[in-house]
A and B are shown apart, each in its own frame.
Chain A
Amino acid sequence: MLTYDEIIEKYEPALGLEVHVELGTKTKMFCGCPTEFGAEPNTQVCPVCLGMPGALPFVNERAIESTILIGLALNCSIAPMSRFARKNYFYPDMPKNFQISQYDEPICTDGYLDVEYETPEGMKTFRIEIERVHMEEDTGKSLHVGGATGRIHGAEYSLLDYNRAGIPLVEIVTKTVLGTERYAPQIAKAYVKELRDILRALGVSDVKMEQGSLRCDANISLSPRGSGKLGTRSETKNVNSLRSVERAITSEMHRHAQRLEAGERVVQETRHFQEDSGTTRSGRSKEQAEDYRYFPEPDLLPVAPSAEWIEELRAQLPERPSAHRARLQQLWQVPDKEMAAMINAGVVGIVEETVAQGADPTKARTWWLGEISRLANEREVEVAEMPITPKDVAEIIALVAAGELTDKLARQVVEGVIAGEGKPKEVIAARGIKVVSDEGELVAAIERAIAAQPETAQKVRDGNIPAAGALIGAVMKDTKGQADAARVRELLLGLLA
Chain B
Amino acid sequence: MSELIYKSAAQLSESLAKKEVSAREVTQAHLDQITKVDKAVHAFLFVDTEGALAQADQVDAARAKGETLGPLAGVPLALKDILAQEGIPTTCGSKILEGWRPPYSATVVKKLRAAGVVILGKTNMDEFAMGSSTENSAFGTTQNPWDLTRIPGGSGGGSAAALAAFEAPLAIGSDTGGSIRQPAAVTGTVGVKPTYGGVSRYGVIAYSSSLDQVGPCARTVLDTALLHEVIAGHDDYDATSINAPTPPVVAAAKRADVKGMKIGVIKELSGDGYESGVSERFEESLEILRSQGATIEMVSCPNFDYGLAAYYLIAPSEASSNLARFDAMRYGLRVGDDGSRSAEEVMSMTRAAGFGREVKRRIVLGTYALSAGYYDAYYGSAQKVRTLITQDFAKAFSSVDVLVSPTTPTVAFLIGAKSNDPVAMYLSDVATIPVNLAGVAAMSLPAGLSEGLPVGFQIIAPAMKDDRLYQVGAALERELAAKWGGVLTTKAPKLNSSAGA
Q: Give chain A's interface residues, CB within 8 Å of chain B.
A: 47, 50-59, 86, 88, 90, 92, 95-98, 152, 157-158, 160, 291, 293-295, 298-301
Q: Are A298 and B318 in contact (CB under 8 A)?
A: yes
Q: By the criterion CB–CB under 8 Å, are A90 and B318 in contact?
A: no
Question: Would you list 28 pairs from A and B whose C-beta atoms are within 8 A, ordered by A residue?
Answer: A51-B325, A51-B330, A53-B100, A54-B102, A54-B106, A55-B104, A55-B203, A56-B201, A56-B206, A57-B239, A58-B236, A59-B239, A88-B324, A88-B370, A90-B344, A90-B347, A92-B343, A92-B347, A95-B325, A95-B330, A98-B324, A291-B372, A293-B367, A293-B370, A295-B370, A298-B209, A298-B210, A299-B239
Question: Does B204 interact with chain A (Cβ within 8 Å)?
Answer: yes
Q: Which residues of B contact A295 (CB under 8 A)?
A: 317-318, 321, 370, 375, 379
Q: Are B104 and A56 in contact (CB under 8 A)?
A: no
B297 interface residue (CB < 8 Å to A): no
Complex-state Cα separation, A463 to B334, whole angstroms:
94
**Taking the complex as formed, is B435 at the interface, i.e. its CB lies under 8 A from any CB of chain A?**
no
Please tell me which one of the listed residues B102, B210, B238 contacts residue A53 in the complex, with CB atoms under 8 A apart: B102
Interface residues of B in 78-131 (CB under 8 A from A): 83-84, 90, 92, 97, 100, 102-104, 106
Q: A429 to B200: give the CA distance in the assembly, Å.
A: 65
Known contacts A58-B237, A86-B321; A299 and B209 CB within 8 A of each other: yes
Interface residues of B in 323-358 (CB under 8 A from A): 324-327, 329-331, 339, 342-344, 347
B445 within 8 A of partner (CB): no
Minimum Cβ distance to chain B for residue A296 (Å):
9
Residues of B near A55 (CB, < 8 A) are: 104, 202-203
The answer for the CA separation of A152 and B330 in the assembled complex, in Å, is: 19
Q: Which residues from chain A contact B379 at a C-beta distance below 8 Å? A: 295
Q: Are A56 and B321 in contact (CB under 8 A)?
A: no
Question: Does B300 sit at the interface, judged by CB under 8 A?
Answer: no
Task: Select the residue from A90, A157, A158, A301 with max chain B CB neighbours within 10 A.
Answer: A90
Given contacts A51-B325, A54-B204, 9 further A-B contacts (CB under 8 A): A47-B103, A55-B104, A55-B202, A56-B238, A90-B324, A92-B343, A291-B371, A295-B318, A295-B375
Cα separation A58 to B241 with both chains bound (whole Å): 11
Contact of A92 with B329 at beta-carbon distance under 8 Å, contacts A52-B104, A54-B206, A291-B372 already known = yes
A301 touches B92 (CB 8 A): no
> Complex Cα distance A377/B344, Å?
45
Given A52-B102, A55-B203, A58-B237: A90 touches B371 (CB 8 Å cut-off): no
B106 neighbours in A (Cβ, 8 Å):
54
The minimal Cβ–Cβ distance linking B79 to chain A, given in whole angstroms, is 13
Q: Does B240 contact A (CB under 8 A)?
A: yes
How many whole Å from A118's CB to the nearest CB in chain B? 45
B205 touches A (CB below 8 Å): yes
Q: A58-B237, A90-B344 are contacts. A53–B325 as well, Cβ < 8 Å?
A: yes
B residues whose Cβ falls under 8 Å from a Cβ of A: 83-84, 90, 92, 97, 100, 102-104, 106, 201-206, 208-210, 236-240, 317-318, 320-321, 324-327, 329-331, 339, 342-344, 347, 367, 370-372, 375, 379
> Across the interface, which residues of A come within 8 angstroms of B329, CB to CB?
92, 95, 160
Residues of B with C-beta under 8 A to A95 = 325, 329-330
Interface contact A98-B321, CB-CB below 8 Å: yes
Interface of B is mostly: loop
Contacts of A90 in B (CB 8 A): 324, 327, 344, 347
| Cα–Cα, bound, A291→B327 (Å) | 19
B212 to chain A, nearest CB (A): 9
- Among B84, B102, B342, B343, max chain A CB count under 10 A is at B343
**A468 CB to closest chain B CB, in angstroms?**
76
- The answer to whether residues A300 and B325 also contact, given A52-B104, A54-B206 and a CB cut-off of 8 A, is no
- Going nearest first, the 10 A-B pairs with the smallest beta carbon separation are A97-B324, A298-B209, A293-B370, A298-B210, A54-B203, A53-B205, A54-B84, A92-B343, A51-B325, A54-B205
A59 to B342, alpha carbons, bound, how many Å? 34
Query: CA of A59 to CA of B84 in the docked complex: distance in angstroms?
Result: 22
Flag if B321 contacts A88 (CB, 8 Å): yes
A293 to B374, CA, bound (A): 10
Within the assembled complex, what's the spacing in Å between the Cα atoms of A301 and B318?
16
Structural contact, A293 and B321, CB atoms closer than 8 A: yes
Contact B236 A53 (CB under 8 A): no
Q: Which residues of A have CB within 8 Å of B90? A: 53
Q: How far is the CB of A250 from chain B (nearest CB, A)?
A: 35
> By CB atoms of chain B within 10 A, which of A55, A86, A96, A152 has the most?
A55
Can you name the residue of chain B whose Cβ is closest to the Cβ of A160? Answer: B329
Residues of A within 8 A of B240 (CB): 298-301
Q: Which A residues lie within 8 Å of B209 (CB)?
A: 298-299
Given A58-B236, A97-B327 in contact, is the A53-B92 Cβ separation under 8 Å? yes
Cα of A98 to Cα of B372 in the assembled complex, Å: 16
Rounded to whole angstroms, the CA-CA distance of A157 and B343 in the bound complex is 9
Residue of B nearest to A295 (CB): B370
Assess the A52–B344 pair: CB atoms within 8 A: no
Q: Across the interface, which residues of A come within 8 angstroms of B343, CB to CB?
A: 92, 158
Q: Is the CB of A97 within 8 A of B239?
A: no
B206 / chain A contacts, CB cutoff of 8 Å: 53-54, 56, 299
Complex CA distance for A294 and B324, rounded to whole angstroms: 14
- A57 and B240 CA atoms in complex are apart in Å by 10
Contact A96 B325, CB 8 Å, known A53-B97, A295-B317, A298-B318: yes
Most chain-A Cβ atoms within 10 A of its Cβ — which of B201, B202, B379? B202
Query: Given A90-B347, A291-B372, are A97 and B236 neighbors across the interface (CB < 8 Å)?
Result: no
Among B83, B204, B239: residue with most chain A CB under 10 A: B239
Q: Do B324 and A53 have beta carbons less than 8 Å apart?
A: no
**Bound state CA distance, A291 and B321, in angstroms?**
13
Q: How far is the CB of A325 from chain B (nearest CB, A)?
A: 42
Contact A54 B370 (CB under 8 A): no
Q: Give Cα distance in the complex from A298 to B320, angstroms.
A: 13
Bound-state Cα–Cα, A88 to B342, Å: 20
